[in-house]
Chains A and B, each alone.
Chain A
Amino acid sequence: MKQKAKKGTLKKVLRYIRRYRFLVGLSVLLAGVSVAATLYIPILTGDAVDKIIAPGQVDFAGIGSILVYIGIVVGISALAQWVMSVINNRVTYRVVRDIRNEAFHKLQKLPLRYLDSHPAGEIVSRVIADVDQFADGLLMGFTQLFTGVITILGTIGFMVSVNAAITLVVLVVTPISLVVAAFIAKSTYHMFRAQSQVRGEQTGFVEEMVGGQKVVQAFGQERKSMARFEEINERLRKCSLKAIFFSSITNPSTRFVNSLVYTGVGIAGALSVVAGRLTVGQLTCFLSYANQYTKPFNEISGVVTELQNALACAARVFELIEEEPQVPDSPEAFQLEAASGAVRVEGVNFAYRPGQKLIENFNLDVKPGQRVALVGPTGCGKTTVINLLMRFYDVDLGKISVDGRDIREITRKSLRRNYGMVLQDTWLKQGTVRENIAYGRPDAALEEVVEAAKAAHAHSFVKRLPQGYDTKIGEELGGLSQGQKQLLCIARVMLSLPPMLILDEATSSIDTRTEVRIQKAFAKMMKGRTSFIVAHRLSTIRDADVILVMRDGHIIEQGSHEELLAKNGFYAELYNSQFSTV
């Protein structure tokens, strides 16, 4: 089963390499040239040595021409080696590049359902760290596997040409080396897996503790978490010791088998010399070839371990690449231009996990320009509604339509372009302020960007940044307060101002005085636009045409402010509590 999976991975890797098959072929050819030259040089050296017999018996002219010949062969071999390395580098890095690009493209197409349920760090590590490991293994495989195999074949050829019988001895003994290497590689694979599992556990723990360090210290939990760490650390130590020791057995073991080969050639060869079937010179030649021949086996066994690891890593990336993408837009999908903003929800059922019903038989009719307020305790599932409207998730049953069209018949892109979204979670790209505001319309002129920033009350602080609109910002650069980031997110929507809006009235992170201005900006934006607002403010709620009251993921009440108050249900309780005294 596992073996099969590994084979599958290998096949996929080969598919990526196929694109570079010409280069790979050239690389194999060059490996052949360089190996042949390398194997030929000892013979030339031997010939030269044979011309140095004793004082007065030295053929200087002959030696001279052989030495020139050696020089040429060495030059060819060196050039072939270099070009081969360059090609191997190129193929490896390009295969890796192709895989990364494909993985990233895949990320753009994966359903939110997948991305929401996998931690970003894990996906990132697949695209970056795993692919990197894979590159290392692949490169090593290319450079050493080819030359190794060709060296073995070449040496066998040279040996057969000298003496077939003794060659047979060599050929019989060497498979042991392969068996040993394969056996060790197989058993260490599991140990490495165990090691990376414990290592993952430890990294997770460290991330959590270091990330939450302030809380750890506030509650004086340092000793306890240290004890927990020590426990995992000790397990990791044991696992690593096993994995590292057993994998490092490979080299000595195959070397031992090699020395058996060497001995075998020694016995057979020496006895043949005694019997007169071989010369001393040929025996010496054989011994040196026996060494040449077995060395690649050491390397190959190392490569095999490395490739094991590389394949395991590749398998993780392929898992990502092969993940089921979101249902693609159908070719005849409708291109929604400027929607009027009529949104209808009919009999919608939705659940994140099958069996855990969240939204059942949800009906809503929003006329163009109406405001819908989503109200309820945090975590009650207001984002679920946004997920469905924006088609981040598809409904399980029923349908949502915009301007009378089922949103599943509209291209995702055009549907989403008709919504302007400001979420509480402020995400900005690494880049300049201008690029961020113009995110929805990269071709916008600077004046338009400034105009949008002014409308979002962001202009005054942007102006004061060191490079104004060209100041670099981003997740890691910091420098902006949460409130300022939020303003930029608003400016981003202001620039394109689509016919429908999804707004999250984030009250917790914005400066209260700025908030007044944002409210005004929001009001300006909403005029004449269908808006869905995650509402925290009473005025917004009261002004809404429809209020959706949510709790624990379900929509429990729906109606206008007056209707809901009259109902005297959960909404009434929520509303009245605002003025309750402590």
Chain B
Amino acid sequence: MKKLLGYLTEYRKECVLGPLFKLLEASFELLVPLVMAGVIDTGIANRDQGYIIRMCLVLVALGVIGLACSLTAQFFAAKASVGFAAKLRAALFNRIQSLSFSDMDAQGTSTLITRMTSDINQVQNGMNLTLRLFLRSPFVVFGAMVMAFTIDWKAALIFVVVIPLLSVVVFGVMLWTMPRYKQVQAWLDRVLGATRENLTGVRVVRAFGREESEAAAFQEENNGLTHFQEFVGKVSALMNPVTYILINLGAVALIWVGALRVDGGMITQGAVVALLNYMSQILVELVKLANLIINITKALACANRVAAVIEFQPGMVSPAGGEAGVDAGVAFDHVELTYGGAGAPSLSELSFSARPGETIGIIGGTGSGKSSLVNLIPRFYDATAGRVLVGGRDVREWPLEQLRNLVGVVPQRAALFTGTIRENLLWGKETAGDQELWQALETAQAKEFVEQKPKGLDEPVEQGGRNFSGGQRQRLTIARALVRRPKILILDDSASALDFATDARLRQAIHQLDYRPTVFIVSQRTSSLRHADQIIVLDDGQAVGIGTHEQLLESCEVYREIHESQFRKEGRQ
């Protein structure tokens, strides 16, 4: 949390000037009654019309100065809080970008996005309010109390009783409601979840004709939320009436004590009126303060959530320096991988080596560890035991950027980014020219459909590439990886959306690449792998067979079973 305040240093000046001008304004406001008292005591008593008008001009002047101070304060507060929030967002985004894959898995993307958006907005509001009001309210409360004591300390003792009582009520209600507001928020999240679920599953819902019951379930959840909100609202609505009663009881006590004191000749009638005025001033400020504290607590909770991410220590360090290797051989040496929080390892005792230019096929059932295996090569995750070697060197000794520059990855989920086709492809290599891009597209079997787009390479890509079909997206992500002419190419089940003809042409084209990358192909189809130099058959994180298609058909039962399920002889069924 303290660290967050570091992002405020650039606005140190604004943070001092904002509250300062606010205090100035408050002081000018406190002067107004004095001037008016002058009008009554001097102007009216002496029937001095000139004095009255002069004093009223003074009031206008005070108003103008007050306005100027206030605007200045608001400006500084806005500038500091908005600037602070912007810096926080940038710092947070920067930190998120440096999180490793396992860190991301642990955090979850959706909470990161909420922290980035609504949490930081809350922090910004809280900061703005704090700068504007946090000094002002205690200043007025304290000032009014001091003034009361200077008038008559015995009568002022009532303040000493009433203020703590008020605080107990104000803060008591706050303490009760705050955790419940959190529950309200959690409930709202559930309502949100129900809405999202309904939208993503709209086809299933309608196919099964469950629209009404979905709506009924939603209504029930929504009504529950409403009832709970009303219940919490009832209690929190107690705050104002109860404080109102307290302050008036205080006033009643003041009048009674005042009456006794006046009767004893200790104070005047005017002093009683003054004391009453201070009492009501305190009430106003205390309520403001309570609201302020609610907002600040909210903001603090959000700030802590933001700070938790910013202060997060990334689990992966990239060593500096070292020169790039040229050899793109890959070797696994007794590798084990257990994901954080998982009980059993996803990969265990895995050893194999791939020579530069070889094609390695990886096959196995769902959850058998295929993606885990390839994710270790560009060091998206660190092996929990054993070593992964690229170019004969442990990946943990490679500078991360150099290592990843060597590898072209085509992930399982074909993710494209808003922009144009060209911009997406340039991710592979920023300096690539058109010819290189077309070459990559051709290899990826994407040339034809890109050519058919009205704007060709400059065809816009919408968020996530949703204006392209699944197969087109996959081919574009393959082209993106090929643009950099990687030494190691990883295709993580990335042809799943392609038909067999395109898939075959794709494999052929990759096989004929002149720079001969080492290729890792993860697939569910034996037909995609049969020409690989080595095929690794995974079952539950273990390699149950390594060899060529023919060897495995001979020796590996799992492989044979997979193969036969896909190539049943005609008429067998």
Verify if A221 is at the interface (C-beta below 8 Å from B): yes
Complex CA gap A442/B484 in Å reads 54
Q: Is B215 located at the chain interface by the 8 A CB criterion?
A: yes
The distance in angstroms between the C-alpha atoms of A579 and B468, with both chains bound, is: 28
Interface 1/0 per residue, A64-91 and B, CB below 8 Å = 0001001100110111011001100110
- Check if A463 is an interface residue, CB within 8 A of chain B: no
Whether A379 contacts B97 in the complex (CB less than 8 A), given A52-B255, A53-B269, A82-B238, comes out as no
**A210 in contact with B40 (CB, 8 Å):** no
Q: How far is the CA of A45 from the CA of B245 in the complex (A)?
A: 15
Chain B interface main SS type: helix
Which residue on A lies nearest to B253, using beta carbons? A67
The answer on a CB contact under 8 Å between A475 and B256 is no
* CA distance in complex: A476, B245 (Å): 49
Instruction: Chain B residues near A52: list those with CB within 8 A.
Output: 255, 258-259, 262-263, 269, 272
Chain B residues with Cβ below 8 Å from A251 are 70
B437 to chain A, nearest CB (A): 15
> Counting CB contacts under 8 A, is A490 at the interface?
no
Point out which of A283, A430, A508 has the most chain B C-beta atoms below 10 A from its C-beta: A508
Bitwise, B238-282 to A at CB < 8 A (1) or not (0) is 101110110011011001101100111100110011001000000
In the complex, the answer to whether B230 meets A101 with C-beta atoms within 8 Å is no
Interface residue stretch chosen among B61-69, B164-172, B325-333: B61-69
- Contact among A263, A510, A542 with B570 in the assembled complex (CB-CB below 8 Å): A542
Stretch of A5-13, A102-110, A444-452 that contacts chain B = A102-110
* Known A-B contacts A127-B195, A244-B81, A248-B74; A417 and B209 likewise in contact (beta carbons under 8 Å): yes
> With contacts A229-B90, A474-B197 known, is A390 near B501, CB below 8 A?
no
Q: Which B residues are in CB contact (< 8 Å) with A220?
A: 401, 404-405
- A216–B276 Cα distance when bound, in Å, is 65
Say yes or no: B241 contacts A82, CB within 8 Å. Answer: yes
CB atoms of A245 and B59 under 8 A apart: no
**Known: A108-B212, A474-B197. Contact between A252 and B252, CB under 8 A?**
no
Q: Does residue B323 face the partner (Cβ distance < 8 Å to A)?
A: no
Contact residues in B for A222 (Cβ distance below 8 Å):
97-98
The CB with the most chain A CB atoms within 10 A, among B204, B212, B498, B531, is that of B204
B401-437 CB mask vs A (1 if < 8 Å, else 0) is: 1001101010100010110000000011000000000
Find residues 384-398 in chain A having any chain B CB closer than 8 Å to their own CB.
Answer: 390, 392
Question: Smallest CB-CB separation from A442: which chain B residue?
Answer: B213
A to B CB contacts below 8 Å, 25 in the list: A48-B255, A52-B258, A52-B262, A53-B262, A54-B265, A70-B251, A70-B252, A89-B230, A104-B222, A115-B199, A207-B113, A218-B409, A219-B409, A219-B484, A226-B93, A237-B86, A245-B75, A259-B32, A266-B55, A270-B56, A280-B44, A378-B471, A413-B209, A513-B565, A573-B501
Find residues 210-237 in chain B having any chain A CB closer than 8 Å to their own CB: 210-215, 218-219, 222-223, 225-226, 229-230, 233-234, 237
The segment from A19-27, A159-167, A356-364, A421-429 that touches chain B is A421-429
Question: Contact residue range for chain A?
Answer: 35 or more
Q: Is A153 an interface residue (CB 8 A)?
A: no
- Asked if A67 meets B96 with Cβ closer than 8 Å, knowing A124-B199, A218-B404, the reply is no
- Which residue from B128, B204, B484, B566 sits with its C-beta under 8 Å from A427? B204
Q: Measured between C-beta atoms, what is the minimum distance from A572 to chain B in Å?
A: 10
**Which of B71, B215, B240, B493 is in CB contact (< 8 Å) with A81?**
B240
Cβ of A47 to closest chain B Cβ, rounded Å: 10
Are the C-beta atoms of A574 and B109 separated by less than 8 Å? no
Q: Does B472 contact A (CB under 8 A)?
A: yes
6 new A-B contacts, CB < 8 A, other than A54-B268, A55-B262, are: A207-B463, A219-B480, A376-B499, A421-B207, A427-B201, A508-B493
What 1/0 mask marks residues of chain B from 88 to 114 whose CB sits below 8 Å from any chain A CB? Answer: 011001101111010010000100110
Distance in Å from the Cβ of B19 to the closest Cβ of chain A?
14
Q: Which of B226, B244, B265 contacts A94 (CB 8 A)?
A: B226
A132 to B222 Cα, complex, angstroms? 12
The 5 lowest CB-CB distance pairs between A and B, nearest first, are A379-B469, A577-B501, A85-B237, A508-B496, A89-B233
CB-based nearest A residue for B561: A513
Q: Which residue of B lies closest to A258 (CB)?
A: B63
A226 → B minimal CB distance (Å) = 6
Q: Do residues B67 and A212 form an inter-chain contact, with CB atoms below 8 A?
A: no
- Give the distance in Å from the alpha carbon of A414 to the alpha carbon of B96 in the complex: 49
Which residues of B from 65 to 85 have beta carbons under 8 Å from A? 66-67, 70-71, 74-75, 77-79, 81-83, 85
Q: Is the CB of A241 within 8 A of B237?
A: no
Q: Is B384 close to A, CB under 8 A? A: no
Q: Does A330 contact B (CB under 8 A)?
A: no
Please determine whether B244 and A248 come into contact, CB atoms closer than 8 angstroms.
Answer: no
CB of B534 closer than 8 Å to a CB of A: no
Residue in chain A with minimal CB distance to B474: A378
Check B353 for interface membership: any CB of A closer than 8 A. no
Closest to B201 in A: A427
Interface residues on B, range: 35 or more
A contact residues around B496 at 8 Å (CB): 507-508
Which of A198-206, A309-317, A340-348 has 4 or more CB atoms under 8 Å from chain B? A198-206
In the complex the two chains form, what is the Cα distance from A510 to B43 in whole Å?
93
B531 touches A256 (CB 8 A): no
B468 to chain A, nearest CB (A): 8
Taking a contact as CB atoms under 8 Å apart, the answer to whether B63 and A256 are in contact is: yes
Q: Closest Cβ of chain B: how far from A301's Cβ, in Å? A: 14
The answer on a CB contact under 8 Å between B219 and A255 is: no
How far, in Å, is A126 (CB) from chain B's closest CB?
Answer: 9
By a CB distance below 8 angstroms, the chain B residues around A510 are 366
Identify which of B185-193, B292-300, B388-396 touches chain A: B185-193
How far, in angstroms, from A566 to B365 measured CA to CA in the complex?
Answer: 37
Q: List A contacts of B464 (CB < 8 A).
A: 208, 211-212
Residue B339 is within 8 A (CB to CB) of chain A in the complex: no
Given A45-B251, A82-B238, A255-B70, are A263 and B265 also a contact pair (CB < 8 Å)?
no
Interface presence of B500 (CB below 8 A): yes
Contacts of A97 on B, CB cut-off 8 Å? Answer: 222-223, 225-226
What does the 1/0 interface line of A169-188 toward B look like (CB < 8 Å)? 00000000000000000000
A212-256: CB near B (< 8 Å → 1, else 0) gives: 111111111110011001100110110011001100110111011
Given A206-B117, A481-B366, also A75-B229 (CB < 8 A): no
Q: Does A100 contact B (CB under 8 A)?
A: yes
Q: Are B44 and A270 in contact (CB under 8 A)?
A: yes
A298 shortest CB reach to chain B, Å: 12
Bitwise, A29-66 to B at CB < 8 A (1) or not (0) is 00000000000010001001101111110101001000
A77 x B244 contact (CB < 8 A): yes
Contact A63 B195 (CB under 8 A): no
With a cutoff of 8 Å between Cβ atoms, the chain A residues found around residue B199 in the complex are 107, 115, 120, 123-124
